[in-house]
Amino acid sequence: MIDTSRRTAFNADHEAFRDSVRKFFAKELTPHLDRWEEEGVVDRNFWRACGEAGLLCPNVSPDHGGLGLDFGYNAVIDEELAYAGSSAGITLQSDIVAPYIEAYGSDEQKAKYLPRMISGECITAIAMTEPGAGSDLQGIRTTAKRDGNHYVLNGSKTYITNGQNADLVIVVAKTDPDKGAKGTSLILVEAGTPGFAKGRNLDKIGQNSADTSELFFEDVRVPITNCLGEENKGFIYLMSQLPQERLGIAVSAMGGAQRAFDEAVNFVKDRKAFGKTVFDFQNTRFLLADLKAKLQVGWAHLDVCLTKHMKGELDAYEGAAAKLWHTELQWEICDAALQLHGGAGYMNEYPIARLWRDARVQRIYGGTSEIMKELIGRSL
């Protein structure tokens, strides 16, 4: 269990909410984790249960059916979901997609989608990555060309979280290819629109229950009113929202790292070798002590970032630094924790195996660690 007794980013209301989140996950998530991992997708009824429990898009304004809470409530959900060992895409809906629609959407778009996103009836995705464009979003090739009062979309996307379940996708497309990044727009496309096809559920090495898909757009016609915000302002919108996206990844990284550490401590205290527990060896205790110290630093830094973000003060460089440091720490702790399990760590029946697999992509999506270093370097 995540110890919050010395945390500084949360208040009593956050902690009461955390208790309800833990109880909800214990009942509605943990019993189904193995099945979802095998099936490669989370049940839609889990999404609706999350909606009923107030776990979807908690910081959306009451004007649009939300609770109007601060990002700290999102962080509580992110931490507890990661600690539970789940990669369900509810955090993407709450932390990334909903803020785009609330910040840039028209009144009609907000009224149409936000209440259903909050209830779990509408599952969303954002389609940025393409086969030839990952961390470099300026390289996208999907186009949305005007034809009368419609856009016609052509192109493909890949590695899209919630891709199989998605009812609504924010598609990053070039509306004016000659302008480069300044010709990028965000286009709303609903599932079932003619020409829009979902490809296979991709076979990943981790995060198996997070449905991740290829998406294809062949002469997909959508009304001009499906543009999210202003035309050709998409790249600016993406850059504006990235600090929160990257902070959310950092939050999840700390939850996963703490769970891996706790699994390792429990295992070595029970496992016997050479007549004593593995924990009794000095090497084990020293390694765990080092990891615990790093976790202490990590939680303290995360609280600083969360507090700044809730005040609207976290900049792009700080968001990149948080994403870089915490995901690298998660990988270090998960890998060390697996090693402490010995051969058992390589067995899927032990939670550490899933935690280790799921951690690897954290250093890739949302911008690779190398791209984070490049961004931070620009601030020097």
SS3 assignment, position 365: coil
Same domain for 184 and 269, yes or no, is: no
Query: Which DSSP category does 77 fall into?
Result: H
Provide the token pair at 109: 């778009």
pTM, entire model: 0.95
Q: Which residues are catalytic?
A: 245
114 domain residue, yes or no: yes
The count of domains in the chain is 3
311/325 Cα distance (integer angstroms): 22
199/179 Cα distance (integer angstroms): 30
Provide the token pair at 172: 């990053």
Same domain for 220 and 293, yes or no, is: no
Nearest Cα residue to 158 out of 96, 220, 98, 202: 202
Same domain for 84 and 17, yes or no, is: yes
Q: Give residue 180's pLDDT.
A: 84
Its domain, for residue 263, covers 235-378
The C-alpha torsion from 147 through 152 and 155 to 158, rounded to 10°, is 140
103/92 Cα distance (integer angstroms): 16
Backbone angles phi, psi at 65, to 5 degrees: 95, 5
CATH number at residue 266: 1.20.140.10
Same domain for 324 and 207, yes or no, is: no
Residue pair 361/206 in contact (Cβ under 8 Å)? The answer is yes
Task: Point out the domain boundary residue: 202, 230, 258.
Answer: 230
3 domain residue, yes or no: no
303/229 Cα distance (integer angstroms): 32
Task: Point out the domain boundary residue: 200, 230, 260.
Answer: 230
CATH number at residue 23: 1.10.540.10
Q: Give residue 131's pLDDT.
A: 87
Nearest Cα residue to 349 out of 46, 25, 1, 37: 37
Ramachandran area for residue 120 (φ above 0: left; ψ -120 to 50: alpha; else beta): left
Same domain for 243 and 364, yes or no, is: yes
7 domain residue, yes or no: no
168/126 Cα distance (integer angstroms): 9
CATH number at residue 224: 2.40.110.10
Query: Each residue's pLDDT tens digit in the chain (380 positions)?
Result: 899 999 999 999 999 999 999 999 999 999 999 999 999 999 999 999 999 999 999 999 999 989 999 999 999 999 999 999 999 999 999 999 999 999 999 999 999 999 999 999 999 999 999 987 766 667 789 999 999 999 999 999 999 999 999 999 999 999 999 888 899 999 999 999 999 999 999 999 999 999 999 999 999 999 999 999 999 999 999 999 999 999 999 999 999 999 999 999 999 999 988 889 999 999 999 999 999 999 999 999 999 999 999 999 999 999 999 999 999 999 999 999 999 999 999 999 999 999 999 999 999 999 999 999 999 999 99
Same domain for 241 and 328, yes or no, is: yes
Residue pair 210/87 in contact (Cβ under 8 Å)? The answer is yes
Query: What residue spans of 40-187 are helical by DSSP H?
Result: 44-52, 71-83, 90-92, 98-104, 107-119
Task: Point out the domain boundary residue: 122, 142, 174.
Answer: 122
Residues 6+ apart with CB under 8 A from 83: 1, 2, 255, 256, 258, 259
